[in-house]
Every structure is written in structure tokens, then in C-alpha cells.
Amino acid sequence: MLEDKDSAALDLEGLAPVHRTGSRGGIVARRVEAWALVVLWGALIVAFAFAEPGVFLTVGNWANILGNQAVLLLLALASLVPLVMRDFDLSLGAITTLSAMTLAILNVSHHMPIALACVIAIAASLCVSALNALFTVKLGGNPFVITLGMLTVVTGIVFLISGSATVGVVSPSLVQLVFLDSFLGIPVEFYIGLLVAIVVWYVLSMTPAGQQAVVVGESREVARLSGVRVARCRTLGYLAAGFIAGLGGIVWAASTGSVDPTTGGTELLLPAVAAVFLGSTCITPGRFNAPGTVIAVYFLASGAVGLEIKGAQDYVQQLFYGAALIVAVIVPKLLGPDRGASFKLM
């Protein structure tokens, strides 16, 4: 069967954390590992607070950190869903850009009501994800290769429909709702990302569908023998990822007011994936999980903003993101062969 072949091509090991009930020291070590990233985040905040005491800890700076990372958080959560089932979707950044550009063109160029434009933008995102599911789940293609190709195709479509030009300004009502309005001094976009994170956590942790997704990620063959509809789970995973990425595009368009085809979702893919893998070392080590992803996103954001305040060049932030991804994958393996989430493509 094609799905069996695909299952052999991709292998995600070490998802299930090992619970060592026979050793108190082992239990303590697991707890320390689970909260190590939180402690490191706190240390990072303290370090930048001492380095820039009048800037880094200000209310305005943290409102910016929490609000400005909403698109990154949504893209990370979108990446998380298929990764739970051992599917890697590289096209999500391009889907975010497509959603934002679709919204902008319909609302600005064709004067479509903003609500309808948002619905069509989400629909366009779901169409791309449906094609990803068709080519990988139904036809047995390698997810890495298929979604890499889809990234290129969607990027080309974005340039085609936009004429390689920035499109704006989107509806002021959307900008007001998402970007300008705030609660407790923090923009609404932060709460949108937080709400999606809570929903993803609840579905994956508290529902039968989420538990089936975890089983599929641990072993597709065992899941199939247990009666789980593996193809259906994976397809829904791709569609959920596309929906969240599409929502990220709407938030991005509202935050910037205009959409540039050369920037946006695609350049956020590296820090988003870094956050997902880094988050797998936190809260429930060895598993891709939503709370860990949220912590990792804001850990990376705090580091990037701190470096920016210190006057670091843009390439330093890219080094920071890349190093975080490498550390997230390698360090758990140094702690033991059963640690971390290892994603094999071949």
C-alpha cells in the first residue's frame, strides 16, 4: 500500500516521554528537563534587563513582543499539527502569504467586504493544504519534497496575482480590530494566537481525535491495526495546518496594513519550525506540544528583540534562530537515545 511505503520513508522516534517510576532521581531529572527552557527564558530576560534596564522590561516593549509575534506563533502552531503525525509541511509560510495577499487584493483592488475576503483567503489556504494531502496521503509522495515544491508554486502564484507589487491598504476596520485594539495593553492579535494555541492543546490532549493523531505519529502501522483511520487523520492534520496558516495571513495583513509578496510568511518558516522543535524539549519532553511551542516562540522572540535593542545586525537574529533549531534537535539526543523528537526524512 502507498501509505505503508510512506510510513517507511518517514520515521519519528522518541515522541513518547519515558516515565521512570523506579528512580526518584530519574523523575526529578525529567521535571528539570521539562522546565529547563522556562528557566533559560527567565535567565535570558534577566540578562537583557540588566544590559538594557530602561528599555527591555518596559510595558511597551513587552506589548510589542507579545503582539508582534502573533503571526509567528500561528505559523508555529500550524507546523505543529502535521508534525505530530510525522508529516512535514514546508509550504505553510507560503500559504500564510497567499492568504494575506488574497485578502488584500479582494478587499483593496476589488472592494470586496472584508469579512467575505477573509473567508475566501481561508478557502484558498485550505485548497493548497488539500492538494498537499492529496499528493502525500493519497498518492504516497514524500511530504518534504511535495510541500517544498508546493512552497515554490504558491510563491509564484502570489507574485502572479499581485503583479510583484505591494497591495494595500486593507480595511481599517480589520486593522483596528486586530492590531490597534488592545486588552490589558496587549494587542488583540496576541489573544488570537493564544486562543488558537489553547484549542490546539485541547484537541491534541483532551479529545479522541487528538489521541488518535498522537498514535499515528508514534506508529502508523499500530494505529492502522488499532482501527484508526490513518489517512483521514493525516488529511485533517494538513487541513487544520492550512486553516491556521491562513488565519495567520489575515492577522499579518491586519498588522501591517499592506501585503508585500517578497516578505512575510515564508521568512518566518525557520523560526516557526525552530520553535516547534525547541518546544518539544519543554513541558512534555519528547513530544511536539502546544504549550512548549508557545514558550519557545516567546523565548526566541525575547532573544531576537534583546539582540535588536543591543544593536545586533539582522543576520545575528538569523544565527540565533538557526542555532536554536540545531540545539533543540541535538541536545536531547546527548541526554540519551530516547530523548527528543527526531524527524527522519529518508
What residues does each domain of the chain span? 2-10+19-337
**What is the pLDDT at residue 16?**
37
3-state helix, strand, coil in the chain (%, to 5): 75, 5, 25
What does the mean pLDDT of the chain come to?
A: 85
**What is the pLDDT at residue 317?**
75
Strand blocks (E) in 174-315: 182-183, 186-187, 258-259
pTM for the model: 0.87
Amino acid, single-letter form, for residue 248: G
pLDDT band at residue 3 under the 50/70/90 scheme: very low
Query: How many whole angstroms separate alpha carbon 345 and alpha carbon 143?
Result: 9
Query: How many whole angstroms separate alpha carbon 158 and alpha carbon 278?
Result: 30
Query: By CB neighbour count within 10 A (0-12 exposed, 13-18 middle, 19+ buried), where does 315 fall?
Result: exposed
pLDDT > 90 in the chain, percent: 57
pLDDT > 70 in the chain, percent: 86
Q: Which residues contact 159 (CB under 8 A, 6 or more apart)?
A: 261
Q: Are strands 182-183 and 186-187 parallel, antiparallel or unpaired?
A: antiparallel
Contact assessment for residue 114 and residue 122, using Cβ atoms and an 8 Å cutoff: no
Query: How many whole angstroms separate alpha carbon 174 and alpha carbon 251?
Result: 9
**What is the CA 61 to chain-centroid distance, rounded?**
23
Helix (H, G, I), strand (E, B), or coil: what is residue 58?
A: coil
DSSP-assigned beta bridge partners for residue 259:
167
DSSP-assigned beta bridge partners for residue 186:
183
Q: Which residue has the higher pLDDT, 147 or 51?
A: 147
pLDDT band at residue 17 under the 50/70/90 scheme: very low
Q: How many CA atoms lie within 13 A of 182 on its CB side?
A: 12
Flag the least confident range among 211-215, 281-285, 334-338.
334-338
Amino acid, single-letter form, for residue 304: A
Q: Give the pLDDT confidence of 77-94 residue by residue, as tens digits.
A: 999 999 999 999 999 999
* Mean local confidence (pLDDT), 5-13: 42
CA distances from 305 to 63, 181, 247, 299 (A): 12, 22, 24, 10
Q: Which residue has the higher pLDDT, 95 or 22?
A: 95
184: left (phi over 0), alpha (psi -120 to 50) or beta: left
Helix (H, G, I), strand (E, B), or coil: what is residue 113?
A: coil
Contact assessment for residue 82 and residue 146, using Cβ atoms and an 8 Å cutoff: no
Amino acid, single-letter form, for residue 143: P
User: What would the DSSP string read from start to end of 275-308?
Assistant: HHHHHTTSSSTTS--HHHHHHHHHHHHHHHHHHH
Q: Which three cell numbers stand for residue 7?
A: 510510513
Q: Give the pLDDT confidence of 269-289 residue by residue, as tens digits.
A: 888 988 998 898 888 888 899
Fold of 2-10+19-337: ABC transporter involved in vitamin B12 uptake, BtuC (1.10.3470)
Indicate the length of the chain as a whole number: 346
